[in-house]
Amino acid sequence: MYTLDFEKPIAEIENRIDELRQMSIRQKVDFTQEIKKLEKKLEKEKESVFMHLNSWQRTQLARHPLRPYFMDYCSRIIDGFIELHGDRRYRDDAAIICGLGYLGDERVAVLGQQKGKDTQENLHRNFGSMHPEGYRKAMRIMELAGNYNLPIITFIDTMGAFPGIGAEERGQAEAIANNLRGMADLEVPIISIVIGEGGSGGALGIGVTNRILMLENSIYSVISPEGCASILWHDASKAPVAAEAMRITAPQLYALGVIDEIIKEPLGGAHSNYDKTADNIKKVLKKHLSQLLKLNGPALVENRYKKFRNLGEYINSNGKLVSSKRKKK
């Protein structure tokens, strides 16, 4: 098991519970009362830790190697999923998986950046970092969805677009820019969910949507905390300081009006209960999709335009302050 530093007190209690259970079996001694006490202590410790996470701790959770990836959610949320391959220009990019399926009774197109569970799969998936052909594949599927009036759901989980020489030679920036323009014009509902890392243009390339949702312990930023710290202080070890300053967590981005809803994770993080996390995502997806399906094509495009046009804080031509920040209750 992989344990983060701040999870160690929790892991110690869990190990003690496991030891008592094994001893109970081997020695045929009843440790029920001791186990119950430890289980209560475990719940209190989890609440103490996970209800007060700082930005760097959430960043660590977003990158947790046991955290569910796109296909873990897709298999639990989308029925009858059929994968579609290739960009029809160069090759099939394994860093993103695209296809068609059903969210409840609604036919949808689904796209997700996929990381690997082990070294071999990570090499195959390129650690979830897409090449230009990946963005072109994504746009091909989204245009297909637009032609057949299918809602689109995208799952974001990437450190960023792949910055290699080959990717640049094949037009990485152009491919992402084409997606930004193409998604802005699609007359179907589009929802994106940040399930882990949402890094830079690599995330935005499938993130121009009517609704942006985030799992509670995911992050969404223009650069990694390590990259920011290296630029500002020439010291990547100051990443925890950068993470706090950058406002990259779900609660911070919700307060700024960048995202539309935070999806709760089970106590202990998404990796502690895949099924519960998937259920939470499915409920929120259905809610937002039912709202967006009430809008016609032009209204969806206008909704998307206004969403991104109003991000930030500025004074318009009438001298009025426009701000996407949410007022504190």
Supply the pLDDT for residue 316: 84
187, 108, 110: which is closest to 150 by C-alpha? 108
In the predicted structure, residue 146 carries a pLDDT above the cut 80: yes
What confidence category does residue 329 fall into, taking pLDDT thresholds of 50, 70 and 90? low
What confidence category does residue 191 fall into, taking pLDDT thresholds of 50, 70 and 90? very high
Supply the pLDDT for residue 289: 97
Domain ranges across the chain? 5-52, 59-315
Supply the pLDDT for residue 1: 66
Contact 113, 105 (CB under 8 A): no
pLDDT tens track for 58-82: 999 999 999 999 999 999 999 999 9
Residue with the larger pLDDT of the pair 295 and 11: 295
- Say how far apart CA 263 and CA 297 lie, in whole Å: 27
214, 211, 212: which is closest to 189 by C-alpha? 211
In the predicted structure, residue 279 carries a pLDDT above the cut 70: yes
**% of the chain beyond a pLDDT of 90:** 77
Vertex 119: Cα angle to 115 and 120 (nearest 5): 90
What's the chain's length in residues? 329
In the predicted structure, residue 206 carries a pLDDT above the cut 90: yes
Supply the pLDDT for residue 138: 97
Summarize the confidence of residues 209-218 as an average pLDDT.
97
CATH superfamily name and code, 59-315:
2-enoyl-CoA Hydratase; Chain A, domain 1 (3.90.226.10)
